[in-house]
Structure formats: structure tokens, C-alpha cells
Copies of this chain bind each other. A is one copy, B any other.
Amino acid sequence: MARTKDPAIRLRLIERAAQMLRAREPITLRSVVADTGLSTMAVYTYFGSMDGLWRAMRQEGFTRLAARLAAVAPSADPVRDLAALGAAYVSNALAHPDLYRVMFDSGFDLEDPAAADEGLLHFVRAVERAREAGRFPGGTDAPALATRTWIVGHGLASLTAAGPLPREALSAGPALLTAVFVDAGDDPVQCGRSVAEGWTL
């Protein structure tokens, strides 16, 4: 047929763009391909448009987040794990604040929305394990409770990593998670211990 696309080039462009984003350098059609030996057409071959490149970067952000959440090792205490997941979520946003901001820009259009759902799934599974362990006797279903945890994590991450709140505001994390989990039926004292144990930034 003809010469084929090289996936490595695609990854190199995404990585380079992410690096420029971190360095707060302007990401333009010509600047991303500069010094790479590639021409501007590479962007259109691999991403269709400049918007496509941004979309791919968002995707990459969610993929990395999912990997970060997957690296949280489940323990015998599922509520501790939930707090650890929340901490990992916020920690990821703090480590890559600009990428985190881009992830939720432009109406959340991704190439593969399932990658974002996969991240939430880690929370859902932890909630289910907590329920099986009898920690959440309340009637709230697992996806709803996982979503509440996500809402808290996103609010905290968004306002501290890419917003007006100072880093000290991160101390609100354990308190908020404890409040949500106790509301779901967990014992206040035990919950406080579990959250404190899991929340490590």
C-alpha cells in the first residue's frame, strides 16, 4: 500500500506537548514540531487538527490518572483505600496542575471516555468492598457514593492545584472524606482512623 503511521511519533508529540505545557511554553502548531525533524503536517497526520492534539493530551492525562489510581494497593481496610484513592487523585493533580486543568477544559470531549470511567471505577470497587465489609450500612448505592468522593476530590484538586486556594487548604481533604463516609454509615472513630491512614499526599 503505502508507508504507515508510526505510533512512536504520535507518542513523542504528545509527550513533547505535555512537557511544553508543564514548562508553560506556548503550544503552537510550529513550536511542537520544532527541533523534532518533523514538519507541521505530522500534527494533522496523527491528530487531524491542533484541537485533536489537545484532545489527545487530555486523554493522556486521564490515562496517567487511571494508572496512578491503579497503583493504589488495596488493603484489608477498604475505607483506608478510599482515602488513599482520594489522596492519589489530588496528588496527581498537584503534580501536574496544568495538565489537570486541560483535562476538564473544552467540554470534556475525549477520544475514549471509557478511560475516564475507568478511574472512577477504582472508587466504585473500593466502595463495594467497604459495603461488603459492613462499613457502609446506609442505603446509598456504590456509584453514587463513589461519585460523591470524586466530587470532593475534584473540588479540592481544582481549587488548590489550578485555583485560588493555598496548599494548606488540602487539610480539608480528610475532614471532607470522613464526613462523606460517616454519612454513608461508617463508624466515626474507625472512619477517622482509616481516612487518616489512607490520606498520604
Answer whether residue A133 sits at the interface, using C-beta atoms and an 8 A cutoff: no
Given contacts A116-B164, A158-B104, A159-B154, contact A140 B176 (CB under 8 A): no
Sample of 11 A–B contacts (CB below 8 Å): A101-B105, A104-B158, A108-B163, A144-B172, A151-B156, A151-B172, A152-B152, A153-B155, A154-B159, A182-B183, A183-B183
- Taking Cβ atoms with an 8 Å cutoff, the residues of A that contact B are 101, 104-105, 107-108, 113, 116, 140, 144, 147-148, 150-156, 158-159, 162-165, 169, 172, 175-176, 178-180, 182-183
Return chain B residues, CB-CB under 8 Å to A162.
104, 107-108
> Main SS of chain A's interface residues?
helix
Please tell me if the beta carbons of B147 and A151 are within 8 angstroms of each other in the complex. Answer: no
A23 to chain B, nearest CB (A): 15
Chain A to chain B: the 7 pairs with minimum beta-carbon distance, closest first: A155-B155, A179-B183, A151-B155, A179-B179, A108-B164, A154-B155, A179-B180
A73 to chain B, nearest CB (A): 26
Complex CA gap A105/B100 in Å reads 12
Return chain B residues, CB-CB under 8 Å to A164.
108, 113, 116
Complex CA gap A21/B153 in Å reads 28
Return chain B residues, CB-CB under 8 Å to A113.
164
Return chain B residues, CB-CB under 8 Å to A101.
105
Return chain B residues, CB-CB under 8 Å to A150.
155, 159
Please tell me if the beta carbons of B175 and A148 are within 8 angstroms of each other in the complex. Answer: yes
Complex CA gap A109/B144 in Å reads 34
A142 to chain B, nearest CB (A): 13
Return chain B residues, CB-CB under 8 Å to A144.
172
Neighbour of A158 across the interface among B154, B179, B182, CB < 8 A: B154
Q: Chain B: which residue is nearest A140 at the CB level?
A: B175
Return chain B residues, CB-CB under 8 Å to A147.
165, 169, 172
Q: Chain B: which residue is nearest A172 at the CB level?
A: B148
Complex CA gap A163/B178 in Å reads 25
